[in-house]
Structure 1
C-alpha cells in the first residue's frame, strides 16, 4: 500500500467515524423522544477514489407494518376508553346501590316513608318526611338527567375541538410533505422532518385511525380505515358546528345537532361502516348520538313510570283524568308526546310541598282535596304505597319487557348501566394491553442505548486507529523529506 493510499484510507475512516459518532449521539439523546426513529450510517467502498470508505447517508430505521399495528391498537384503546368513561360517569349519576343518594335507594326511601306515614296518618312529621322523600327522588332523577345532558354536551364540544385539531394537523402534514420533498431533492437529510411527520400522523390516528400510502419523494397520503380521503396532495377540510348545549330533544336526525362533512360531503358517523370508525371521534359521536340517547330514554321511562303510578284517579279519587299527580312534568300534567327530556323536568307536585306553599296533609286526604279530612284515614297513603310497588309493564324505554315495581325499574336501570360499564371497561383493559404490547415491540426495534454505547466504543477505537495511521503517515513523510 502506498503512503497516499494509507493517508486516503485513514482520512475517509476518520470522516466516517465522526459521522457515525454523531448519529449514535443523536440516537441516545432521543431514545425517549416520541416519533423518533433509530438512525444508522450507511457506508460503501469509495469506488471513485478506489480506496477508503464513502458515506452514503443516514438511514431512518422503521417497520411500517409494526407502526401500523401500533397505531390501530392505540386508536382502539382510546375509543374503548372513551366509551368506558361515559358508562362510568352515567353510573355515577344514577348512583351505585351502596350510595344513599342513588335512584334505587331514593325509591326505597319513598316506599318506606309511605308505609311509615300510613301507620300513623295523623302525624304531620311523617307526612312531611314522605314529602321530603318524594322530593329527593324527583331531585335525584332530575340531577341525573341534567348530568346526562352535560355528558352529551361534553361529547359534542369534544367533537368540535377534535375537528379543529384535525384540520390544523392535516394542513401541517401537507406542509411537511412539501418540505420533505424539497429537502430530499436538495440531497440533505430528511430524518428529522420524517420524525415530525410521524408525530403528526400519530395525532391524527388517535382521532381517526389512518392508513398511509406512499407518494413520490417520501410524500404520503392519509386515508381513514373506513376509506375517507384525509390527505392526498392537499389536506381535506372537515366541517362540524358545535352546539351551545346538547338538549335531550336535539339529534343529528332532526338537524338540531351537527353532523360531519369532509370537503362538503356528509359523512356517516355511526356504525361499523362509518368512514371515521375506531378512534376517539367515532367514540364521541357514539356517546352523543347513541349511548346518551338510549340512557335518556331509560331515564325518561323511569320518570314517566313514577308519574303514571300516582296520576291514576283510582289511586287518588280527588284527581281528574288530566290532573297532575304526586309527580309532575315541570308542574303540569304529563303528555306522552312530550316524553323526551321528561327526567330533566320531573318535579314534585307543589300542592303537597310546604316549601312551595303546599300542604303535606294532601298526601293523606287527596292532592285536590278542598280541606283536611279525617286524620286517621290512611286509605290514600296505602293506595300510594301499593301503586309504588305494583308490578306493571313500563310504557317506554328499554329497561325490560316484563312487569316490575318502581324499585324494580330503578334496579333494572342500575343493572343495565353496571353491565355496560363492566363490559366496556373490560374491552378498554384488553385494548390498552394490546396497545402496550405493540408499543413495547416497537420500542425494542428502536433505540437500544446499551447497544448504541457499545457501538460508540467501537467507533472510538476505529477513530483512534485511523488517527494513528495518519500519525504514522506523517512521520514517514517527515522522514522522506529529511533524506
Structure 2
C-alpha cells in the first residue's frame, strides 16, 4: 500500500467515524422521543479505489410485527379505558351497598317511613316524612338518569372531536407520504419524516385501530381493522354531525342521532360486523348507542315498576282508574308507549307532597279522599307498604323472568352495575398490562443507551486510529520532502 492509498483510506475512515458519531449521538439524544427508531450507519468498501470504507447511508431499524402488536395493545387500552370510566361513573351514580344515598337505600328509606307512619297514622310529621322519602327516591332516579344522559351527550361530543382529529391526521399523513419520496429523490434524509409519520399513525391508531401496508418509495397505505380504506394515495374523509345534548329517546335508527360516514358511505359502528373495531372511537359509539341505552332501559324499568305498583287496581279505593298513583310520570299516569326516559320524569304525586302544596294526610286517607278521615286508620298505609313488598312481573327481562319485589329490583340493578364495573376494571387492568409489556418489548428493539455509548467509544477509537494514520503519513511526507 502506498502513502496515497493509506491517506485516502484514513480520510474515508475519519469521514465514516464522524458520520457514525453523529448517528450514535442522535440515537442517544432521541432515546425517549416518541416515534423515533434507532439508526445505524451502513458502510461498504470503496468500489472506486478498491480500498477503504464508504458510507452508504443511514438505516432506520423498526420491527413492523412488534409495532403492529404494540398498536393493537394501544387501541385495546384506549377502548377499555373509556368503557371502564363509563361503568365506574355509572356505579357512582347508582350507588354501592354502603352508600346511604344509593337507589336501594332510598327505596329502603321510603319503605321504612311507610312502616313508621303506619304505626302512628295520626302523626303529620311521619306522613310528611313518607312524602319526603318518596320524593328523595324519585329524585335519585332523576339524578341517575340525568347523569347517564350527560355521559351519553359527552360521548356524542367526543365522537365529533375524534372525527375531526382523524380527518386532520389523515390529511397530515397524506402530505408526509407524498413528501418522503420527493426528499429521498434529491438525496435528503427521510428518517425524521418516517418518525413523524409513525407518530401520526399511532395517533390514528389510538382512535381507530389500523393496519399499515408498505408501498413503493417508502410510502404506506392505511386500513382500519374493519376493512375501511383510510389512506391509499389520498386520505379518506369521515363525516359526523354532533348532537351535543342527547335525550333518552334519541337513536340513530330514528334519525335523531348522527351515524358515521366515510367518503359518503355509512360505516357500521356496532356489532360483530363493525368496521371500527376497538379503539377510543368504537368505545364512544358503544357508550352512546348501546351501553347508555341499555342502562337507561334498566332505570326506566325500576321507575315503571314503582309507578305501576301504586297504580294497581283496588290499591287505593278513593282513586279513579284514570288517576295517577303515589308516583307519576311528570304528574301523569304511566303510558307504555312513552316508556323511554321514564326515570328522568318520575316524580312524587304533588297532591301528597307538602313541600309542593299537597297534603300528606292523603297517604293515610287515600289520594282521592275529600277529607282526612279517621286519623287512626292505617289501612291505606299498610296497603302501600304491602305493595312494595309484593312480588310482581318485571317489564325488563334483563333482571330475570320471575316475579320480584321493589327491593329485589333495585338491588338487582345495583348488583348488575357493580358487576359490570368490576368486569370492566379487570379488562382495563389486563389491557394496561398487555400494553406495558408490548411497549417494553418494542423498546428493547429500540435505542439502548448503554450499547450506544459503547459504540461511541469504538467510534472514538476508530477516529483516533485514522487520525494517527494521517499523522504518520504527514510525517513521512515531510521526511521525503527534506531528502
- Tell me which interval the TM-score lies in, with the shorter structure as reference length: over 0.9
Contact 1:400 1:412 in 2 (8 A): no
The equivalent of 1:431 in structure 2 is 431
The equivalent of 1:332 in structure 2 is 332
Contact 1:229 1:236 in 2 (8 A): yes
The equivalent of 2:100 in structure 1 is 100
SS at match of 1:250: coil
Residue deviations 1:134-189, cap 9 Å, x none? 01000000000000100111111111110000000000000000111101111211
Deviation (angstroms), 1:482: 1.2
Contact 1:271 1:277 in 2 (8 A): no
Q: Is the deviation greater in 167-176 or in 177-186?
A: 177-186
The equivalent of 2:316 in structure 1 is 316
Contact 1:131 1:360 in 2 (8 A): yes
Residue deviations 1:375-418, cap 9 Å, x none? 00100100000011111111236222111111110001111111
Cα distance in 1 between the residues matched to 2:128 and 2:481: 118
Listed as ranges, the matches of 1:392-407 within 5 Å are 392-396=392-396, 398-407=398-407
Residue deviations 1:291-339, cap 9 Å, x none? 1100000100000000001122421111111211111111122211110
SS at match of 1:293: helix
The equivalent of 1:61 in structure 2 is 61
State yes or no: 1:147 paired with 2:171.
no
Cα distance in 2 between the residues matched to 1:322 and 1:334: 10
Structure 1: gaps (5+ residues): none
Listed as ranges, the matches of 1:417-428 within 5 Å are 417-428=417-428
The equivalent of 2:296 in structure 1 is 296
SS at match of 1:404: coil
SS at match of 2:415: helix
Contact 2:318 2:367 in 1 (8 A): yes
SS at match of 2:466: helix
SS at match of 1:246: coil
The equivalent of 1:35 in structure 2 is 35
The equivalent of 1:235 in structure 2 is 235
The equivalent of 1:225 in structure 2 is 225
Deviation (angstroms), 1:211: 0.5
Cα distance in 1 between the residues matched to 2:169 and 2:395: 48
Residue deviations 1:191-221, cap 9 Å, x none? 1100000000000011111001111110111
The equivalent of 1:167 in structure 2 is 167
Contact 1:238 1:263 in 2 (8 A): yes
Cα distance in 1 between the residues matched to 2:322 and 2:334: 9
The equivalent of 2:445 in structure 1 is 445
The equivalent of 2:204 in structure 1 is 204
Count of aligned residue pairs for this structure pair: 483
Cα distance in 2 between the residues matched to 1:395 and 1:4: 96
The structure-2 alpha-carbon separation of the partners of 1:245 and 1:338, relative to structure 1 and needing over 3 Å to count, comes to: same
Cα distance in 1 between the residues matched to 2:202 and 2:401: 45
Contact 1:149 1:248 in 2 (8 A): yes
Q: TM-score, normalised by structure 1?
A: 0.99
Deviation (angstroms), 1:463: 0.6
Cα distance in 2 between the residues matched to 1:128 and 1:100: 20
Cα distance in 1 between the residues matched to 2:396 and 2:460: 78
Cα distance in 1 between the residues matched to 2:273 and 2:244: 29
The equivalent of 1:215 in structure 2 is 215
SS at match of 2:266: strand
SS at match of 1:398: helix
Contact 2:86 2:151 in 1 (8 A): yes
Contact 1:297 1:397 in 2 (8 A): no
Listed as ranges, the matches of 1:277-296 within 5 Å are 277-296=277-296
SS at match of 1:322: coil
SS at match of 1:58: strand
SS at match of 1:49: coil
Deviation (angstroms), 1:76: 1.1
Cα distance in 2 between the residues matched to 1:471 and 1:237: 63
Cα distance in 1 between the residues matched to 2:349 and 2:398: 27
The equivalent of 1:186 in structure 2 is 186
Contact 1:208 1:280 in 2 (8 A): yes
Residue deviations 1:43-72, cap 9 Å, x none? 001011222100001110000011001101
Cα distance in 2 between the residues matched to 1:25 and 1:114: 78
Q: TM-score, normalised by structure 2?
A: 0.99
Contact 1:312 1:321 in 2 (8 A): no
Cα distance in 1 between the residues matched to 2:217 and 2:184: 7
Cα distance in 1 between the residues matched to 2:395 and 2:118: 29
The equivalent of 2:348 in structure 1 is 348
Cα distance in 2 between the residues matched to 1:395 and 1:367: 26
